[in-house]
A and B are shown apart, each in its own frame.
Chain A
Amino acid sequence: MPGQVAIIIDYDAGNLRSVERACREVGLAAEITADPDRVRRARRIIFPGVGAAAPAMRSITANGIDQALREAIAAGTPVLGICLGMQISLERSEEGDTPTLGFIPGQVVRFRFDRPDLKIPHMGWNEVRVVRPHPLLADVEPGDEFYFVHGYYPQPANREDVYAVTDYEGEFASALGRDNYFGMQCHPEKSGRVGLNVLRRFADWDGTC
């Protein structure tokens, strides 16, 4: 099977080994790297991350990962963004008022509630409801829940970039994508069987929808 090695981009944005372990579990060999040349040459890329948008952007701009990712996406390499790795694929984040990569039109904004019973961050298991079929979500059924930990959420500008939504005092886009790029707000590597299924699909994905 071609392209069976994935590159996990390391940019000081949290613990990447859980992503690596989950990839191994589904038979996808993965290598953690911060080398932009490896990103350019990668057959498939996972762009993970937790933490804040501004330091993450500083980190990937400083070592040229941003440019390498742009080139890889333009070349059609399948890319999976997870959590912060997905968020900085939009154009701008309210978190530190940070310009981000802009693969997907739209912005990232903070949850704002007046209700004290709704906690921030949104942390725990919640349903990911598919609103548009996508190869990576082929196994996701109604009622399937994924694990989330985040205080900001994506607001893509175009409805057609949204593949799944999640309810937390209103709906937000929990999976989005365009062509060979796909991103999820939740953590498939921490979401049990349903999450592993997304990674298993990614291992075979050719980047078309």
Chain B
Amino acid sequence: MLSKRLIACLDVRDGRLAKSIRFVDTKDIGDPVEKAREYYLDGLDELVFYDITASSDRRNIMLEVVERVAEQVFIPLSVGGGVRSVADATNLRLAGAEKINVNTAAVERPALIAECAEAIGDQNVVLSMDILRVGRSDACPSGYEIVTHGGRTRTGRDALAWALEGERLGAGELVVNSIDADGTRDGYEIALTAMIAGSVRIPVIASGGAGRPEHLYEALTAGKADAALVASMVHYGDYRVSELKRYLHERGVKMRMKW
């Protein structure tokens, strides 16, 4: 059977590693290539790079980072942040990204998902969703709303409806990122992850809020997620990738244990 995946997300700004807490107050925490290599050698299953570079004229720096990582890290590499067109997606793919994450631009123009799926294959298009808990209403029956621009802009879109539309348009995978939980280290938003994972046929990656190993366990069991995404809990040395995988394995979650 398939193993559950442990994914580390590296936020990159101007070619340097940054970790955002609720998307503000980002601070530089090192060289992304070095970190990527370290995690790869420690058994990481997949890497995500999120480009949070503010100015678009510095985006080429990200292509260089991806290229350098791809030369020494031989696991799937997923890249997002500022992907607005098929050209952006194919440039990142040529640089060495396996999968492309779309987010804000797809909310503004959903056809982007279908266009990317056509150009690089369904399985390589990841729809990343930033989601805010708002309570159930007629306008938002799931009680969760899609937000964009790193959580600053509310869209009025129901999160579950958007997940289903993303799947229909050809997304191969979903990242369910809880804005409420992100950066808190209090655990993933399990109800949200479970609701979406239980409604789609594509893999779901739980994101936002991981602080302790049991949070990953919850996401991969009660949360029904196929993969758990971590950031600060490994970036600052609190936990090692291999340590998290061993913990999950010992609790009966199927993980890749040989690397």
Contact = CB atoms under 8 A, between A and B. Distances in A.
B94 to A, nearest CB: 7
Contacts of B201: 116, 119-120
Contact of A126 (B2, B40, B94, B259): B2
A141 B258 CA distance: 10
B76 interface: yes
B54 interface: no
A136 to B, nearest CB: 17
Interface residues of B, number: 32
B240 interface: no
B93 interface: yes
A194 B121 contact: no
B44 to A, nearest CB: 9
A66 interface: no
Given A121-B172, A123-B172, A149-B123, A191 B74 contact: yes
Contacts of B173: 123
Interface in B1-39: 1-3, 5
Interface of A: 14-15, 17-18, 21-22, 24-25, 50-51, 116, 119-126, 141, 143-145, 147, 149, 151, 167-168, 189-196
Given A17-B96, A21-B96, A143-B258, 4 more contacts: A21-B74, A120-B201, A145-B258, A192-B74
7 contacts: A17-B96, A121-B172, A122-B2, A144-B258, A151-B123, A190-B74, A194-B258
Question: Which 7 pairs from chain A and chain B are nearest by CB?
Answer: A125-B256, A145-B256, A124-B2, A125-B3, A149-B123, A192-B259, A121-B123
